[in-house]
Chain A
Amino acid sequence: MGTELERLTPAPPEGDLLDSPRFPQAAKTELANHQQRTNLRHATTTIRNKRARVVGELSNWQDLRDAGEAIKTRVGRHLDEYLLQFEENFTKAGGHVHWARDAEEANRIVVALVKDTGQEEIVKVKSMVTQEIDMNEALEAEGIAAWETDLAELIVQLGHDRPSHIVVPALHRNRSEVREIFLKEMGRYGTPPPDDLDDQPKNLAGAARVHLREKFMRAKTSTSGANFAIAETGSLVVVESEGNGRMCLTLPDTLISVVGIEKILPTFDDLEVFLQLLPRSSTGERMNPYTSVWTGTTDGDGPKNVHVVLVDNGRTNVLADPEGRAALRCIRCSACLNICPVYERVGGHAYGSVYPGPIGAILNPQLRGTDSEIDRSLPFASSLCGACNEVCPVKIPISDLLVHERHKVVEAKKKDPPHIPHTAEPQIMAAAAWVMDDHRHLELAGKGSELGSRVLGGLLGWKKIGPLPPPLSRWTDARDVPMLPEQTFRDWWKQNRETKK
């Protein structure tokens, strides 16, 4: 308690995200959390259905996905040219561009920029990359308070918690938990909620409005991420719902936007593709309530000092693998989380990263390498049902990349120094990978659990899949469905969807 009061902002849970227990262990803990499973199932089902409805409204959805895929592929293959073009145009418009090789450097730049303003607090627009680099903690360590202003992020911050979903970070909390958090913590860090606060979402949101408005009115400095950075015009784009983004982007004097280098779009025209793909995939709305576009500074409107920090932090590692590179197309819509049966059961915390779900399972080991236990286990955190491939608006072949990453984990393990005892792991992984690395193998293996068991069992010399020996047991122990789906997603789709048209 004593140390907590010395902090400017609520302390997050102890320990580093990377120290998280490896996935299957974490999954077991999270699986036991009944409340969370109920909240998760309700939430993912609701968003999934909304998404399906609004996507169904567009007859050219598949063309849009093809366009999204192509534009992002182009960006990846010519990233240096586009970044330079963005830098030139953003600078011409009065903005300042900084480059950061890794999280530490990005934080150093942000801290220095905030210190230049003489401010001891900032307001924040929710952003994945600032979480990825743990910016709030870096600022806190330098005596700067960073206030989350997205409602869900506020719940997470005041709850001494971590986000569990890309778009709805407090998905795992229900209304009565939110009420308790607000009553307990809000008053310690600003305007308290009314004493008679009940658990109606409307009133909880009202309490947040009052609490945060006071912070918006006095804020002189803010940070954000960006959903898109447009090379041709040097503009940044932020897509949001609540208006907290607009508050942070326009009211303070200084705005610092931390942006992953993969966020580029070549031209302003390309926005028409992504402003159709993103909201529908993300929250299942035809359009999100607010989108802000700004280009450097504008006289008499908005912040006078505008900075962008372009962050690598492992993205060039991802780029270096021509196959794995597809993961950089991700626009963080979270459609793959919402449809994933594994995510729905275990929740976001089990992934040990700010990027949970199917995209996290492929992106984290690519960004961070496969040195940690958690990153080695993540590519196995999937049943390869393939549902994520079908919903991804930029057509990332997630299940192919999972198999690809499994290979890499196996290779990395082979290279472990000899004092780390070797198990039969590489062979097992290789066999499992063989089954999964080609869709024909997968479909063959998946023609029914009998045959599937025989194929994998034959390779490994077992009778049935059952609980697998270590290290695959990490995965099979943590779940109660067969290793291979009884039916491949393709078959299921054929039977259940195509025939119904």
Chain B
Amino acid sequence: MSAREVILARIRSSLTDVPVGVAPERDVPVAWKYAQAVDVGDVLGSFAQRVADYKATVVRCAASEVPDEIAKALTTLGVRSVVVPTGLEESWKDAVTKAGAHVVVDSEEHRLSHKELNDTGAVLTAAAVGAAQTGTIVLDHSADQGRRALSLVPDVHVCIVRADQVVSGVPEAVARLKASVQAGQPLTWISGPSATSDIELSRVEGVHGPRTLYVIIAE
């Protein structure tokens, strides 16, 4: 017998107390209402507040002001080169050039090597969902967010979240993301910049991911 068959047989012989043929949902019902909104009051306000709690920079602005805010962010952070995914809004890409930084596009034809990514100052992406209660941003790596390595290797992540992408909490976020997962897309949930508390539990921002997270909320 293969290991697979042995393990399955062991499981079945361990579960003789479980009635045969009863659907799992009937056997053990779960009294939980999924995908409910949670009470956070002002959703956008809480989102901004909670993201800032993680020591990320948060800026709220009108959608039309996003390019200006991008330029401001790059100047403040002193970033010289920025990697962008192919599907990013053109006006946002242009903002990088206007700020005097160099744009590097990561495309199917030209995938940046790990080293090239490592040598780039920042990454600029959109997002898929924001969750207010926990201050979480989720990327589903659609064309305006790029593959996973983009938002990981450069030291600065400038992320633009649209107001209509922000939901109250994790339950609503999970519900919104389901279609992406079913389509086979990976997800990256981000709550603040990379952090460790491994040395005497003192929190240090930035071990391996971006040490700076700069969030622009477009309203």
- Interface flag for B61 (CB, 8 Å): no
- Interface flag for B90 (CB, 8 Å): no
> Which of B10, B111, B178, B200 is packed against the most chain A CB atoms within 10 Å?
B200
Assess A273 versus B32: contact at CB under 8 Å? Given A201-B202, A289-B195, A300-B111.
Answer: yes
How close is B134's CB to chain A, nearest CB, in angstroms? 4
Q: Please state if B187 and A241 are interface contacts (CB–CB under 8 Å).
A: no
Nearest-CB residue, chain B, relative to A60: B38
A-contacting 9-mer, from B68-76, B92-100, B141-149: B141-149
Complex formed: what's the CA distance from A208 to B207 in Å?
Answer: 8
Q: Please state if A287 and B7 are interface contacts (CB–CB under 8 Å).
A: no
How close is B132's CB to chain A, nearest CB, in angstroms? 11
Q: Please state if A242 and B200 are interface contacts (CB–CB under 8 Å).
A: no
Residues on B with beta carbons closer than 8 Å to the beta carbon of A261: 7, 11
B-contacting 9-mer, from A62-70, A375-383, A393-401, A459-467: A62-70
- Digit string of B43-83 for contact with A (CB within 8 Å is 1, else 0)? 00000001000100000000000000000000000000000
Residues on B with beta carbons closer than 8 Å to the beta carbon of A294: 186-187
Q: Please state if B181 and A289 are interface contacts (CB–CB under 8 Å).
A: no
B contacts with A: majority SS? loop
How close is B106's CB to chain A, nearest CB, in angstroms? 10
Q: Please state if A287 and B189 are interface contacts (CB–CB under 8 Å).
A: yes
- Interface flag for A290 (CB, 8 Å): yes
- Interface flag for A174 (CB, 8 Å): yes
Q: Please state if B29 and A209 are interface contacts (CB–CB under 8 Å).
A: no
A contacts with B: majority SS? helix
Q: Please state if A205 and B204 are interface contacts (CB–CB under 8 Å).
A: yes
Nearest-CB residue, chain A, relative to B152: A246
Assess A250 versus B7: contact at CB under 8 Å? Given A74-B27, A80-B12, A289-B209.
Answer: no
Q: Please state if A290 and B32 are interface contacts (CB–CB under 8 Å).
A: no
Tally B residues with Cβ within 8 Å of A: 75
Nearest-CB residue, chain B, relative to A243: B209
Q: Please state if B199 and A301 are interface contacts (CB–CB under 8 Å).
A: no
A residues 63-121 near B (Cβ < 8 Å) are 63-64, 66-67, 70-71, 73-74, 77-84, 93, 98-101, 105
Residues on B with beta carbons closer than 8 Å to the beta carbon of A288: 191
Residues on A with beta carbons closer than 8 Å to the beta carbon of B15: 77, 79-80, 319
Residues on B with beta carbons closer than 8 Å to the beta carbon of A81: 24
Complex formed: what's the CA distance from A105 to B3 in Å?
Answer: 9
Task: Choose one: A82, A286, A320; the contact of B14 (CB below 8 Å).
Answer: A320
- Digit string of A273-296 for contact with B (CB within 8 Å is 1, else 0)? 101100000010111111111111
A residues 44-71 near B (Cβ < 8 Å) are 46-47, 63-64, 66-67, 70-71
Residues on A with beta carbons closer than 8 Å to the beta carbon of B153: 251
Nearest-CB residue, chain B, relative to A209: B207
Task: Choose one: A155, A168, A202; the contact of B204 (CB below 8 Å).
Answer: A202
- Interface flag for B192 (CB, 8 Å): yes
Nearest-CB residue, chain A, relative to B54: A289
How close is B58's CB to chain A, nearest CB, in angstroms? 15
Q: Please state if B8 and A78 are interface contacts (CB–CB under 8 Å).
A: no
How close is A200's CB to chain B, nearest CB, in angstroms? 9
Q: Please state if B197 and A283 are interface contacts (CB–CB under 8 Å).
A: yes
Task: Choose one: A235, A266, A272; the contact of B181 (CB below 8 Å).
Answer: A235
How close is A58's CB to chain B, nearest CB, in angstroms? 8
How close is A275's CB to chain B, nearest CB, in angstroms? 5
> Which of B15, B153, B206, B207 is packed against the most chain A CB atoms within 10 Å?
B207
Nearest-CB residue, chain B, relative to A298: B186
Assess A99 versus B7: contact at CB under 8 Å? Given A42-B200, A243-B209, A268-B181.
Answer: yes
Complex formed: what's the CA distance from A347 to B182 in Å?
Answer: 43
Task: Choose one: A71, A99, A242, A269; the contact of B175 (CB below 8 Å).
Answer: A269
- Interface flag for A170 (CB, 8 Å): yes
Q: Please state if A292 and B135 are interface contacts (CB–CB under 8 Å).
A: no
- Interface flag for A144 (CB, 8 Å): no
Task: Choose one: A202, A283, A302, A312; the contact of B148 (CB below 8 Å).
Answer: A302
Task: Choose one: A105, A152, A175, A275; the contact of B170 (CB below 8 Å).
Answer: A275
Residues on B with beta carbons closer than 8 Å to the beta carbon of A93: 184
Q: Please state if B115 and A217 are interface contacts (CB–CB under 8 Å).
A: yes
Q: Please state if B196 and A63 are interface contacts (CB–CB under 8 Å).
A: no
Complex formed: what's the CA distance from A320 to B13 in Å?
Answer: 8
Q: Please state if B148 and A80 are interface contacts (CB–CB under 8 Å).
A: no
- Interface flag for B188 (CB, 8 Å): yes
Q: Please state if A289 and B193 are interface contacts (CB–CB under 8 Å).
A: yes
Task: Choose one: B32, B149, B187, B195; the contact of A293 (CB below 8 Å).
Answer: B187
| B binding-site residues for A, Cβ under 8 Å | 2-4, 6-8, 10-15, 17-18, 24-25, 27-32, 34-35, 50, 54, 108, 111, 114-115, 118, 131, 133-136, 141, 147-149, 152-153, 170-171, 173-175, 178, 181-182, 184-202, 204, 206-210
**Beyond known contacts A73-B28, A242-B208: 5 more, CB 8 A cutoff:** A80-B11, A175-B199, A241-B196, A292-B189, A301-B141
